[in-house]
């Protein structure tokens, strides 16, 4: 039986500090903000941090306690928006950083949201479905004081899915006395979910890669792709890449890495992972070591797992032309510098993986209007928003002679801080 994890400080020196990476990214953009830099400290202080105890009765009758978080980084441009993560490594430090990146992502895409994030430090694989429901409902009740359709709208993330969102919506709705379908996104279609939502993030990764490749002469058709992470983001991206003529030559999930220079049969790999829970034992490729995985030759490398995976050491050894960040915060600032020195183009998370929150925005709008669009309409609107954002960020990078990441932060920080300045401080 899994025991609750002990409390971990968000300043735990033994763990990477994603919040420190976020702060460094904010500091790097400060010289480009002009008079708005007066307000930059706003971005270094989350607006609201809620830490909650999540007690449940387990199936064996014992009472267990788990630690949960909801961080609202900024609400200057609208209600908070960001996922809920169930993972054994969740810490407050991580959730703070993820909330900060959501602020930047939403602003960079022009979505009318601030940034938020939540999580519980559990391994969902160690709990029964009934236990996960109880954990989710208790967590939702505890954070219910800060979430709502016009306050803060959670969504799925690592370890959570549309069923989790259904439980969250129902719990919140019962507590407020009416059905509030817009309190979360990523719900089942029957409960007001949007077509195209589950594929949104992976599709956005593909769109970002395609737009980058078109500008630097690396077409998707015939390209070699390496993907770290084979869940909702990496799996969907892999399938769409292959549908457009690319070859996925290496994959990594939590159980290990595989490679096939002739190309991996992605439908077969997806079927295997769905049946067995991982890529372990898949016969359509050869198992490779972690070190070898990071040195497989590719045209596009897609980190789509956890933050902090692309370290300086891995950045020195990476053999690719374009990095397209499917995960949140996968590249440390020091690794970012190394990739730049090696002329490896990086399409940052705040642009590349924004497809999910964009379709979540569509879901939220559809819930408010009770009028739902076709999947073709969803995908067309996603293309339009992402291409427009990509072009603006690309042009800013060229004009300012900065990286794509810094350009995205310039645009986003200008929007967030302009809103902060115009709203003023009260009292």
**DSSP letter string over 350-404?**
HHHTTHHHHHHHHHHHHHHHT----HHHHHHHHHHHHHHHHHHHHHHHHHHT--H
Q: Residue 191: its pLDDT value, please?
A: 96
The residues assigned a catalytic role are 117
How far apart, in whole angstroms, are the C-alpha atoms of residue 101 and residue 155?
A: 15
State residue 15's pLDDT score: 46
Q: In the chain, where does the domain assigned CATH 3.40.50.10860 lie?
A: 36-179
What is the rounded CA–CA span in Å between residue 27 and residue 407? 13
CA distances from 398 to 392, 394, 409 (A): 10, 6, 14
What does the longest C-alpha to C-alpha distance in the chain come to?
A: 64
Number of continuous H segments (helices) and E segments (strands) in the chain = 14, 12
Per DSSP, 331 falls in state B
In CATH, the architecture of 36-179 is 3-Layer(aba) Sandwich (3.40)
CATH fold for domain 200-347: Rossmann fold (3.40.50)
pLDDT tens for each residue of the chain, 427 residues long: 333 333 333 334 444 579 998 999 999 999 999 999 999 999 999 999 999 999 999 999 999 999 999 999 999 999 999 999 999 999 999 999 999 999 999 999 999 999 999 999 999 999 999 999 999 999 999 999 999 999 999 999 989 999 999 999 999 999 999 999 999 999 999 999 999 988 999 999 999 999 999 999 999 999 999 999 998 899 999 999 999 999 999 999 888 899 999 999 999 999 999 998 888 889 889 999 988 999 999 999 999 988 889 999 999 999 999 999 999 889 989 999 999 999 999 999 999 999 999 999 999 999 999 999 999 999 999 999 999 999 999 999 999 999 999 999 999 999 999 999 999 999 8
- What count of other Cβ atoms lies within 10 Å of the Cβ of residue 38? 12
For residues 212 and 324, is the Cβ–Cβ distance under 8 A? Answer: yes
Question: Which residues of the chain are in CATH 3.40.50.720 domains?
Answer: 200-347
CA distance 237 to 215: 20
Please list the residues that pair with 294 across neighbouring strands: none
pLDDT for the residue numbered 107: 98
Rounded Cα distance, 278 and 280, in Å: 5
Backbone angles phi, psi at 262, to 5 degrees: -85, -5
**Per-residue burial over 204-217, b = 16 or more CB atoms within 10 Å of its CB, e = otherwise:** bbbbbbbbbbeeee
Strand-pairing partners, residue 226, are 250, 301
Q: The tokens of 256 are what? A: 């290990």
């Amino acid at each position: 039986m899994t025991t609750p994890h002990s409390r971990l400080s968000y300043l735990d020196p033994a763990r990477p500090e994603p919040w420190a990476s976020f702060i460094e990214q904010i500091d790097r953009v400060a010289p480009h903000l002009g008079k708005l830099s007066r307000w930059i400290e706003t971005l270094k202080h989350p607006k609201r941090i809620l830490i909650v105890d999540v007690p449940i009765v387990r199936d064996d009758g014992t009472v267990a306690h788990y630690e949960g978080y909801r961080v609202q980084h900024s609400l200057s441009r609208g209600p908070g928006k960001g996922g809920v993560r169930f993972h054994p490594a969740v810490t407050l430090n991580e959730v703070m950083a993820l909330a900060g990146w959501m602020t930047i992502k939403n602003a960079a895409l022009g979505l009318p949201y601030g940034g938020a994030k939540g999580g519980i430090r559990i391994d969902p694989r160690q709990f029964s479905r009934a236990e996960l429901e109880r954990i989710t409902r208790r967590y939702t009740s505890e954070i219910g004081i800060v979430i709502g359709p016009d306050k803060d709208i959670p969504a799925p993330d690592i370890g959570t899915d549309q069923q989790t969102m259904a439980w969250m919506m129902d719990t919140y709705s019962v507590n407020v006395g009416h059905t509030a379908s817009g309190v979360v996104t990523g719900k089942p279609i029957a409960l007001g979910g949007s077509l195209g939502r589950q594929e949104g993030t992976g599709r956005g990764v593909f769109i970002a890669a395609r737009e980058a490749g078109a500008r630097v002469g690396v077409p998707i058709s015939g390209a070699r792709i390496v993907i770290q992470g084979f869940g909702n983001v990496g799996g969907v991206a892999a399938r769409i890449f292959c549908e457009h003529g690319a070859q996925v030559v290496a994959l990594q999930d939590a159980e290990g890495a595989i490679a096939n220079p002739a190309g991996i049969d992605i439908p077969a790999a997806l079927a295997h992972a769905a049946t067995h829970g991982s890529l372990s034992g898949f016969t359509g490729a050869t198992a490779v070591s972690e070190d070898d995985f990071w040195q497989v030759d590719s045209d596009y490398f897609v980190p789509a797992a956890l933050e902090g995976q692309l370290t300086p050491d891995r950045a020195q050894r990476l053999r690719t032309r374009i990095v397209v960040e499917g995960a949140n915060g996968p590249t440390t600032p020091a690794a970012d510098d190394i990739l730049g020195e090696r002329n490896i183009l990086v399409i940052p998370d705040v642009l590349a993986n924004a497809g999910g929150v964009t379709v979540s925005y569509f879901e939220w709008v559809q819930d408010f209007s009770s009028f739902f669009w076709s999947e073709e309409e969803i995908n067309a609107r996603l293309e339009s928003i992402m291409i427009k954002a990509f072009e603006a960020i690309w042009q800013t990078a060229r004009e300012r002679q900065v990286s794509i990441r810094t350009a995205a932060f310039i645009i986003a920080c200008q929007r967030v801080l302009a809103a902060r300045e115009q709203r003023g401080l009260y009292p």
